[in-house]
Chains A and B, each alone.
Chain A
Amino acid sequence: DIQMTQSPSSLSASVGDRVTITCRASQNINGFVNWYQQKPGKAPELLIYSASALQSGVPSRFRGIGSGTEFTLTITSLQPEDFATYYCQQSFSTLFTFGPGTKVDMK
């Protein structure tokens, strides 16, 4: 299995802050990483696919970059609706695996 790790596991931030989350894969997965946002009691929603492509309808303040084993999700200016948990997921292998999540809460 390809293992995915995320850092930090949680962070506190304020509206307007720039937030960066890192995801690392246990092997080279090229650009096969997706990012999801999950709010309490809700299903995850796709934000970014293939490392850097913005899903339709997702605000441009969400940016993804990376290749190989290290990937980042950046929120350029945190908005109130962005407080949530973020997961990365690899699709290099057809056996999907997810990172453990990063919870972004209010400072």
Chain B
Amino acid sequence: QVHLQESGPGLVKPSQTLSLTCTVSGGSIRSGNYYWSWIRQPAGKGLEWIGRIFLTGSTLYNPSLKSRVNISLDTSKNQIYLKMTSLTAADTAVYYCARDREQVFLDSWGQGALVTVSS
């Protein structure tokens, strides 16, 4: 069974760049027709889809975040990455990575990484 684990700094200063890593175990990100998505959730609020990547490197981003987000992957490390620039307090949230089945549903999620944007 695939397992996803997010990692990264818990605290980032305003205007700086967030870098998160999603490490996948129990399966290769090269196998299957899977995409890999990032989703975030501010405390006490709902879910916001950030974007996704396919193993070819093809990406799609939420238009509201597109100018600040980059998703990439490293198949040799079985990792997916999220970079988000120009952070503000509004970006404070739990960030999840998830396996995206053919751009239809998200069937496996990481436990989430809390990111706080504060000076």
Contacts and interface: CB of A to CB of B under 8 A. Distances in A.
A91 B112 contact: no
Interface stretch (A10-18, A19-27, A42-50, A71-79): A42-50
- Size category of the binding interface on chain B: 20 to 34
Interface residues of A, number: 23
Given A43-B109, A44-B47, A95 B96 contact: no
B49 interface: yes
Interface in B74-118: 96, 98, 101, 103-107, 109-112
A87 B46 contact: yes
B105 A45 contact: no
Given A44-B109, A89-B105, 7 more contacts: A34-B104, A34-B106, A44-B47, A46-B107, A91-B105, A98-B47, A98-B49
A98 B48 contact: yes
Contacts of A94: 60, 103
B70 interface: no
Interface in A33-87: 34, 36, 42-46, 49-50, 55, 87
Contacts of B21: none
B23 interface: no
A50 B104 contact: yes
Contacts of A36: 47, 106
A95 B111 contact: no
Contact of A96 (B37, B96, B110): B37
Contacts of B62: 95
Given A34-B105, A49-B104, A100 B63 contact: no
A43 B107 CA distance: 11
A89 B49 CA distance: 10
Nearest to A100: B46
A46 B49 contact: no
A67 to B, nearest CB: 15
16 contacts: A34-B104, A36-B47, A43-B110, A44-B96, A44-B109, A46-B106, A49-B101, A49-B105, A55-B107, A87-B46, A87-B47, A89-B47, A89-B105, A95-B60, A98-B48, A99-B46
